[in-house]
């Protein structure tokens, strides 16, 4: 483990419960405190020592965003597989450097967009693939909640450029949309700081074009009280009380699926007629701990038994889309992403 902060400690708890992993060491600049919290673990202040002396087969990188590329490149050069917390890196340039080194070394990578591992997400993908709602026409999505004043007081960077809900929160939703609905090929956006008056946005609206021709709208705010965030709808962690509400509507030629409830709206005999009644039907998916499921998947990737659900190349695409939405909100222009994807891959 490199970085035993908020999410690193969560990974350490999940690792301790997992039979297929053995913790050989932790690296954190805050070594003394981490050693006190993790009795029995070998703790290094310098992550390079961890790689040289503990010789792990794989590393979870949960350091600050700005260090992901440097940490990942060092692991790749040492032939170590990586599970890299999201976002893959802090810039597209550093992502390109990391991608090149991972490819050169032939190590396996998984980016920690943990939502991909939820059973509800897998069920949505399966229902769409089965054609339950026909071809997808569009998506209407919301992520809106009211962050408390303390959130900004304890970490003043959150009220400065780069600390707003586009880069912190929307990146998860962008990754989910790319994974569940399809690749995003163009974006437009508007942003506002009217509610809090910070240098960074508190609210934004984005238009999204998917490769499969579907269009989407996204409303994002950290200054509105609503039951519509993925965290509340999934009940994925105790910090965000469960609302049981869907924040996504995926609309197709033959019906609509709400997410995460998986409520489905269709007409009898597959009708496509605005004068016919529409009925809802429940779909069920179980609920699991996505961080444990992510570790299960990473184990299979390390062993060569599974293909990574999200190698660094794909994590960089979610970063690219999110950065483009922030840029579009500033420039007011539509941004076509296809050339940018191509530039990232070369
Ligand atoms: N997937 C998720 O649910 C999720 C949730 C929170 C954070 N994250 C991501 O995880 C990463 C860490 O976020 P966090 O909230 O845990 O941050 P954090 O600040 O709580 O933890 C970062 C840790 O890295 C350590 N660190 C700093 N410099 C280091 C270095 N040079 N070498 C080794 N360790 C170093 C710090 O001492 C700290 O313990 C970020 O990339 C963040 O985006 C993901």
Q: What is the CATH classification number for the domain harbouring 64? A: 3.40.50.720
Domain assignment of residue 306, yes or no = no
Do 97 and 136 fall into the same domain? no
Q: How many Cβ atoms from other residues are within 10 Å of residue 198's Cβ?
A: 17
User: What total of structural domains would you count in the chain?
Assistant: 2
Q: Per residue in 144-155, pLDDT tens?
A: 999 999 999 988
User: Could you tell me which residues come within 8 angstroms of residue 149 by beta carbon, excluding any fewer than 6 positions away?
Assistant: none
Q: Per the domain annotation, does 130 fall within a domain?
A: yes
- 276 domain residue, yes or no: yes
**Same-domain status, 148 and 82:** no
Tell me the pLDDT band of 181, cut-offs 50, 70 and 90. very high
Segments in the chain forming alpha helices (H): 6-16, 31-37, 47-49, 68-77, 92-105, 119-129, 149-154, 165, 171-180, 230-234, 290-302, 312-331, 338-345
- Provide the token pair at 199: 């240098």
Q: What would the pLDDT profile of 325-344 be if each residue is shown by its tens digit?
A: 999 999 999 999 999 999 98
**pLDDT confidence of residue 162:** 77
Q: Is the CB of 62 under 6 A from ligand 1?
A: yes
Same domain (yes/no): 162, 214? yes
Share of the chain above pLDDT 70, in %: 100
The CATH number covering residue 257 comes to 3.30.360.10
Domain range for 258: 116-288+320-330
Q: Is residue 310 part of a domain?
A: no
Q: Kindly state if the Cβ of 65 falls inside 6 Å of ligand 1.
A: yes
Strand-by-strand arrangement of the 109-111 sheet: 58-61, 81-84, 109-111
Q: How many CB atoms lie within 10 A of CB 342?
A: 9
Q: Are residues 89 and 225 in the same domain?
A: no
Could you tell me the two tokens for 253? 């030629």
* 325 in the same domain as 185: yes
Whether residue 51 is contained in a domain is answered as: yes
Q: Nearest 5 degrees, angle CA 240-CA 258-CA 115? A: 45
Cα of 88 to ligand 1 centre, how many Å? 12
Here the tokens at position 314 are: 């794909």
User: Which tens digit of pLDDT belongs to each residue from 256-301?
Assistant: 999 999 999 999 999 999 999 999 999 999 889 999 999 999 999 9
Residue 118 Cβ inside 6 Å of ligand 1? The answer reads no
């Amino acid at each position: 483990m490199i970085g035993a902060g908020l999410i690193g400690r969560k990974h350490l708890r999940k690792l301790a419960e997992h039979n297929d992993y053995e913790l050989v060491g932790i690296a954190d600049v805050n070594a003394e405190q981490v050693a006190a919290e993790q009795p029995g673990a070998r703790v290094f202040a310098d992550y390079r020592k961890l790689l040289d002396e503990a010789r792990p087969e794989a590393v979870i990188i949960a350091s600050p965003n700005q260090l992901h590329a440097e940490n990942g490149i060092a692991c790749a050069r040492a032939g170590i597989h990586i599970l890299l917390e999201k976002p893959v890196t802090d810039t597209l340039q550093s992502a390109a450097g990391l991608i090149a080194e991972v490819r050169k070394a032939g190590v396996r990578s998984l980016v920690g967009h943990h939502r991909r591992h939820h059973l509800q997400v897998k069920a949505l993908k399966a229902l769409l693939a089965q054609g339950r709602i026909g071809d997808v026409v569009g998506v209407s999505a919301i992520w809106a909640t009211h962050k408390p004043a303390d959130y900004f007081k304890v970490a003043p960077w959150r009220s400065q450029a780069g600390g707003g809900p586009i880069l912190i929160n929307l990146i998860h939703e962008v990754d989910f949309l790319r994974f569940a609905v399809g690749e995003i090929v163009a974006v437009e956006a508007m942003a506002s700081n009217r509610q809090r008056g910070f240098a960074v946005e508190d609210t934004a609206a984005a238009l999204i074009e998917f490769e499969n021709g579907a269009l989407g709208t996204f409303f994002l705010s950290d200054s509105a009280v609503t039951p519509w965030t993925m965290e509340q709808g999934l009940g994925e962690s105790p910090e965000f009380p469960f609302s049981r509400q869907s924040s996504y509507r995926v609309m197709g030629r033959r019906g609509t699926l709400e997410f995460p409830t998986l409520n489905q709206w269709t007409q009898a005999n597959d009708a496509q007629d605005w004068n016919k009644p529409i009925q809802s039907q429940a779909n069920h998916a179980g609920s699991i701990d996505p961080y444990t499921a992510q570790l299960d998947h990473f184990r299979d990737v390390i062993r060569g038994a599974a293909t990574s659900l999200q190698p660094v190349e794909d994590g960089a695409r979610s970063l690219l889309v999110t950065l483009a939405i922030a840029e579009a909100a500033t420039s007011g222009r539509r941004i076509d992403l296809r050339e940018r994807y191509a530039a990232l891959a070369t």
